[in-house]
Structure 1
Amino acid sequence: MNDEAIYTARLELIDFLIEAFWDAPTEAFVADLIEGEVELPEESVTPEMDEGFAMLESWIERNRGEDVADVRDELEREYTRLFVGPRPPVLPHETYYREDTDFIGDGLVAVEESYAAVGWEPPEEYPEEADFVAVELAFLRHLVDRQRRGEEEAFGFERVFLDEHLLEWADAFVDDVREKADPGLFLAASLAFGGLVTFEDELVAQMVPG
């Protein structure tokens, strides 16, 4: 796989994860999954990502031919149960998992400073705080896109963001979703998210010597 293909695959995976997490999935997103041709990697990437892709493939096959609106409604109920509540069992925010800050507390400033360091602001359509999983993924996408455009310093920014943020909480978040969610889209996306963080950590380590 050449560099451009790798960049395309990284960005497409991040786009999928943003769409899966930022709110209850839209009908268009669900239709793309169960009616379209979803291309999943044929080769192993990371154990978590492989598990997530296999689960996603099974979920797609189970729902292929089902009414898109019905599937979307089912996903909205599951998304609300898992991530919205009342009293959701999983809170997909970095500061929830960190011991050095309160949930939605001072730790938000550190996340926002990471964004500001590269002149990035979360899109207005994201209603959640700066440490929400979809927002952090959108920032990661921004850095990967800059890398594709040849900005080598973007690898350094990603190295810092991984070390100071994503690597600090991704595993615990995935563990929580694995415990609380049934096999399906959101668990598959969570596993793929954990695998993505591992993959990015290994890739960036090749570009930014420790």
Structure 2
Amino acid sequence: MANKVEPLITPDEVQEILAEPKETVKPISWVHRPLAASGNAALPLWMEFASACRVKGEIREDVIFRVFYRSPRTRVQGQAAIMVGEAFGASLFVGPHRVFGVDTDDSFHSSLVGNGLPNYRRVLADRSHQHIWVAEGEGYAEPLTPALNSISALIDYFLPRANLTLAGGFAHPLKGRQIELIL
């Protein structure tokens, strides 16, 4: 199984939590995360935000919304320069479990849980996919087409499906940053 922790929550409980209206307890305030510089021609920008959620008027420290953004970058391997597109994702966690998530990136995903489901052990090459909770736990994903090619599009897709409202609305991670020109 893909998950290292036995699921503490059932698919029915996940559906109940997803159905409940939720709101983050704080507005988006992006936090910079460090990246290893080895193999990168240009160090990418990596930022994330996490907040507990209010459910039924109560702050639930075990229900967490997380979103991340990583700018496009160039990886250098030997004499090759490999362009890697921007990556971003949004997730809802209950305790240690990612019960719903949407990702856009250039990596492949293989569902190691979900025996009997259409994408079980199938490699997803699509840029965007969504993670859903199954009886075996987390790790099952389905392709999303067309791809969600911006973090704004991903958030617009994610929020209604998670029944989540962001306190203060969505703030783009690059808002207020100057564009850097390479001369």
- What is the TM-score of this pair, normalised by structure 1? 0.21
Larger relative contact order (CA 8 Å, sep ≥ 6) = 1
* Structure with the largest fraction of strand: 2
* Structure with the largest fraction of helix: 1
- What is the TM-score of this pair, normalised by structure 2? 0.23
